[in-house]
Amino acid sequence: MQDPEGKGCTLELTFYRDQKKFTQPEYEKRLFDHLGFTVSDMNQTIIVMRKEKVMVTDEPFKLGPNGPTIAFVEDPDGTLIELIER
């Protein structure tokens, strides 16, 4: 995963070949809560995600007067993904 300047990180996602179905426990019982990603333009990111039928679970909102704008979306398995515009 890299930005246009080639800066970024590696994210490893694994799966178990013998597992037939992935299920997420209810939010209160999860050990893993969410992944977070920085975006440069929250509004444009949300527009693109909606076009791709991504479930937006929390609309963009500002954390305090000088804080970042964040939103949450859900992947098809129900994992929360936080979007952060600083």
24-69 pLDDT tens trace: 777 788 777 788 999 999 999 999 999 999 999 999 999 999 999 9
Ramachandran angles phi, psi of 7, nearest 5°: -90, 145
pTM of the complete model: 0.74
* CATH number reported for the structural domain that contains residue 61 in this entry: 3.10.180.10
Higher-pLDDT residue of 37, 11 = 37
Q: Which domain holds residue 60?
A: 32-85
Helices within the chain (DSSP H only): 42-51
What is the torsional sign of CA 71, 75, 80, 85? Answer: negative
Residue 50 lies in a domain: yes
Q: How far apart are CA 63 and CA 35, in angstroms?
A: 18
Given a cut of 80, is residue 17 above it in pLDDT? no
Residue 64 lies in a domain: yes
Residue 58 lies in a domain: yes
Number of domains in the chain: 1
Q: At a CB cut-off of 8 Å and minimum separation 6, what does 56 contact?
A: 46, 49, 50, 71, 72, 73
Residue 23 lies in a domain: no
